[in-house]
Structure 1
Amino acid sequence: MSAPGKLRSVALLALAEVMTMSLWLLSAAILPDLVAEAGLGPGRAAALSSAVQIGFVVGALALAVHGTADRFDPRRVLAGSALVAAAANAALLVTPVGGAAQIGLRALTGACLAGVYPVGMKIVVGWGTRDRGLLVGILVGSLTVGTALPHLLAFFSGPDWRATALLASGLAAAGGMLGLGAGLGPFHARAASLDPGALRLAWTNRRLRLAYAGYLGHMWELYAFWAWIGAAAAAGFAAGLGAAAPDAARLVSFAAIALGGLLCIPAGWVADRIGKARVAQGAMLTSGAAGLATAASFGGVWQLTAVLILLWGAAVIPDSAQFSALVADAAPPERAGSLMTFQTALGFTLTFFTVQAVPWVAAGLGWPATLALMALGPAFGVEAMRRLLRMGRESVDATLDRL
C-alpha cells in the first residue's frame, strides 16, 4: 500500500469498522447486567444475542439479491446503515429490558450492520489485487476489535448497561460518518443492473463453493465463541476467583477477541505470500485445537483456562478475512460485493442456530462439552481448504503438462 489515497481510505475504513461494529456483541457484553435487572431466562437471553444474527441475515440477503453494494456508492450505503443501527441501539434505553421491543431493536441493528461489514469489504477490495489478503485482513481485524469493544466499555461502565449502550451508539454514528471520507480504488467495479442470478455462481463455481464451505465451518465456532466466551469464562473462573470472576471474564473476553483482530493483519500479509487457503487452514487447525484444550482445562486452574481462551481468540478470526478474499478473487469484479454479502448471509444464518443453541447445550451438557463441540466447524473447514489447495496443485500440474 503506497499511494496516499489508498492509505488514507483503508485507514478511514478500518477506523469506521472499529467504531461501528461496537454494536455487534453489545448484548453479550451487558447480558449479566440485563439478567440481574430483569431476571431473564436462558431463552430470552439467547434471543437478545441471536436477534442480531437474524437481522444481519435478513439484511445481507436483501442487499445481496438487490446488489446494493455493487450498484450504488458503497460509502453512502455504509454511512446510512451505521446511522440507523446507532439509533436502533440507542432506543434500547427507552424500552422494557429483555422485552420483545429490545429483541426487535437488536434485529434491526443486525440488519443495518449488513450494510457496514460486507459493504466495507466491497470498498477495500477495490484498492488492490496482489495485496488483497492484507487489505481484507485489515478490515476484518478492525471489525473484530470493534466487536470486542463492548466488553471493554462494559468493564469501565460497570453495572450501568445503559451507559455502555449509549457509548456504543455514539461510536457507531461517528464511524459511519468517517466511512464517507474513504475513496473508491482503481479496481472498484460497479454493476450496471440488477442480476440476482449472479448468486448462482456460489454453487456453480467450484472455487467459490469451497470458499463458502470453509467459511461455514469457520462460522460454526466463531460467533458461538464471541457471543458466549464471556459467560463461559465467568463460570470457569468462579472456583478460583469467586466474585471477581465476571470482571476477569470481561477483560479476558475483550483481550481474546481483540488479539484475534490484530492478528488478521499479519495473517493477511502472510496469505498474500503463501496462499489464502493455506493460512485459513492453519488458523482453523489452531482454533479447533485451542477449543478442545480450553474445554479440557475448564474448571481447573483459571490462569491456564484464560491463556487457552486467549490462544483460541487469536486463532478464531484470521481465517475469516481470507475466505472473503478468496471469494473476491474468484468472483467477477462487478459482482464481488453481492457474492461476499451472500457468503456472510449464509454464514450468519448458521450462527443463529449455534448462538441460540449454546446456552441450552451448556445447561444440559456443561460448558466443557459445549466448548468441545465448537471444534466440529474447524474440522469441516480444514477439509474444504484441503480440497481447494488440491485444485490449485492440479491446475499447476495441468499447466506443466501442457508445457
Structure 2
Amino acid sequence: MKTKFLALALVTGLFLNSCSSSDDPTPTPVVTPATGEITGPITKDITYAYGNYTLKGIVKINEGVTVTFEAGSIITIDKATGDNALVVLKGGKLITKGTADKPVVFTEKSKLPGSWGGIIMYGDAPVNVAGAKSSSTSEDGNNISYGGTNPTHNGGSLVYTRVEYAGSKLADGQKENNGFTFYSVGSGTTLDHLVSYKGADDGYEFFGGTVSMTNAISYGNYDDAFDWQDGWQGTANTNWYAYQTGKGNYGMEIEASANDNAYGPKVSNITLRREAGNVPEAGDNQVDAFQFKREGNGEYSNIIIDGYGNYTTTGTPAVTYFGSAVSILDVATNDHQVKTSKIKLLNVKISNTTNILPIGATADIVVAFPTGTFVQSNTATGASLTAGAWCTVDGVNLLTKL
C-alpha cells in the first residue's frame, strides 16, 4: 500500500511540475496608444510613441531637429482648422518607423482629396532649375529657397508610411501640394514603402535632388502619379506602382526645367494602370502613361502600361485625345533627348492603350526612338510589392489591381 501511495505522489508531482506557471505562455502586454496634438515649429528632438495624434497648422521641423514617429502611429489632420502640413526644413530630419503590419499613417478627418498639404521635405542637394540656375524658391506656399551642393543630404527615413487626402494649396502657393514633396533632397535620405492615397495633385513630386525611392504606391491621385523637374537625379529607384481611378493625368510627368543634360534618373520595375472611365483632371489631353517635356530624360525598365486609351470630352463639339504609352511634348526634348538616346524605355509590356509606339504631342514632332532605346516585351513583370496593412485603406488592399 505504501508503495502505491509513493507512486501516486511521484506522478502527481510530475503532473504539477509539468503544468507550472513557468511554462505558461507570457501574455502580450496591452499597450495603450498615446494621444496629443502636434503643432509647430518643432525646435528640439522628440519621439512620438505609438499613438493617435492630431496635427494642426503648418508644422515645421527646424534645422538640427529630429522628429520620430513609432510604428503604428496615426496622425489625423482636420482641414477645418485651416492650412495644415508637415514640413521638414533643410537640416531637419523626419523618421517614421513604420512596419508592414504597423505603418505610420497621416490622414485627414473628412477623407476628401485636397484637404491638407502632405509631407514636404527640403534639403541642400544639387538642383538644376530653369535657366541652369542652382537654386529656386518653392511653389508650395512656404516660399523657401532650395538647392545646394550636398548630394548626400540626409532628411531622415520615411519607411512604411502612408499619406492620405493631401493636395491642398498653402497660403498663396502657386499650386496644390502633393502627397509627398521633395525639394533638393539628398541620397542620404531613405524613402521606402510609401503610399500616396487620393490626393488632389501629384502622388510624389521631386524638385531636383539626388534621393531615390523604393516600393512606392500612388493610388487615386488627381494629377500625375509621379512627377519631377529641376534636374532630379535619383538612380536607385525600384518598384513603383500607380493606379489612376476616377480622375488622374499622366502616369509619369518627366521634365528637366528646359536644361539639356546627361544625368537622367533611373527607375526599374514600374506598373502604371489607368482604370476604365478615368478622366484627366481638367478634361484635356493629359492621358499618357509617360510624358516627357522640357528636356526630361532617364532610363526606365521592366514596365507594365495598361489602360491609357482615348479620352473624349463631353462638350460641343466633342474632342478626342489619343492616349499613348509615351508622349514627347516639345521639339527640344525630341531633338536633344530622344534622338541622342538619353531616354530609354526597356522591357515594356503595353495593353489597352491607343498608341503603342511613342508619339509627338503635335504633328510637327516626329518621334523615332533609336534602336534599342524603346523595347517592347511580353515578359515584363512591372512592380513587385507585398500586401499588408501598409497598403490597405479602409479594408481595401491597394495591390488588388497590381
TM bracket (short chain): under 0.3
State the TM-score, normalizing by the size of structure 1: 0.22
Indicate the structure (1 or 2) with the bigger Cα radius of gyration. Answer: 2
Q: Which has the higher contact order (CA 8 A, sep 6+)?
A: 1
State the TM-score, normalizing by the size of structure 2: 0.22
> Which structure features the higher share of helix residues?
1
> Which structure features the higher share of strand residues?
2
